[in-house]
């Protein structure tokens, strides 16, 4: 791999990582603590990640348990969960908050699968945009730095191979997440 393509491969890797993070926040019937990653709790006037103010565990396949380090945070955490787009009502006993994930309906599973495909398509578009930028850069640099036609062609082939690899990775990730969602 040509070192001149490293920055573009890095960008494609970041796109892939971002997609995996988005997939982690989609709940698939089982309790996954990553659905709470984007939730921020008001901690003495500072919006803080939920994981930094409480212990998050999964005692059962469809339950997440949140134990705040300070009992006074129970109400704040509940408020943050209710205002998020999780769609789950928390219950608490004054010390511990429990989130019980209902079994997903067939209709909801299909909606989530569509959402996964849409996120996958967006990631592929981002990867293709990176390819376009790379090819534009290669053509300009080829003229200004007196690269041979073969050199320019080799770099263009290299970026196309990278693009194909990452698009295939996106397809695999979409397929795996869709299978996970549709499995009852």
Query: Of residues 42 and 17, which shows the higher confidence score?
Result: 17
| pLDDT-above-90 percentage for the chain | 30
Q: Report which of 11, 19, 69, 75 is spatially closest to residue 42, judged by C-alpha positions.
A: 75
pLDDT of 125 over the 90 cut: yes
Q: Is the pLDDT confidence value at 83 over 70?
A: yes
Residue 87 in this model has a pLDDT that exceeds 80 = no
CATH class of 33-100: alpha beta
Categorize the per-residue pLDDT at 43 as very low, low, confident or very high, splitting at 50, 70 and 90.
confident
What residue segments make up the domains of the chain, in order of their start? 3-24+105-182, 33-100
Does residue 25 sit in helix, strand or coil?
coil
Choose between 45 and 27: higher pLDDT: 45
Q: How confident is the model at residue 174 (pLDDT cuts 50, 70, 90)?
A: very high
Average pLDDT, whole number, for the chain? 86
What is the average per-residue pLDDT within 4-15?
90
Measure the CA–CA gap between 126 and 163, rounded to whole angstroms: 10
Domain spanning 3-24+105-182, CATH class: mainly alpha
pLDDT computed for residue 136 by the predictor:
92
Question: What is residue 13's predicted lDDT score, i.e. its pLDDT?
Answer: 93
Q: Which of 20-29, 96-105, 116-125 has the highest mean pLDDT?
A: 116-125
Helix axes 6-24, 106-144, angle to 10 degrees: 170
């Amino acid at each position: 791999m040509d070192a001149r393509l490293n920055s573009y491969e890095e960008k494609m890797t970041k796109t892939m990582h971002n997609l995996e993070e988005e997939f982690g926040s989609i709940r698939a019937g089982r309790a996954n603590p990553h659905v709470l990653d984007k939730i921020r709790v008001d901690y003495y006037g500072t919006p803080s990640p939920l994981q930094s103010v409480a212990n998050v565990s999964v005692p059962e396949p469809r339950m997440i348990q949140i134990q705040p380090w300070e009992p006074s945070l129970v109400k704040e955490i509940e408020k943050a969960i209710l205002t998020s787009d999780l769609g789950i009502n928390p219950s608490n006993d004054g010390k511990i908050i429990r989130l019980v994930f209902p079994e997903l309906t067939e209709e909801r599973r299909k909606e989530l699968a569509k959402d996964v495909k849409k996120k996958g398509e967006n990631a592929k578009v981002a990867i293709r945009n990176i390819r376009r930028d790379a090819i534009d850069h290669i053509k300009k640099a080829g003229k200004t730095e007196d690269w041979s036609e073969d050199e320019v062609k080799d770099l263009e082939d290299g970026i196309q191979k990278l693009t194909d690899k990452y698009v295939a990775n996106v397809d695999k990730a979409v397929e795996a997440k869709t299978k996970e969602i549709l499995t009852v």
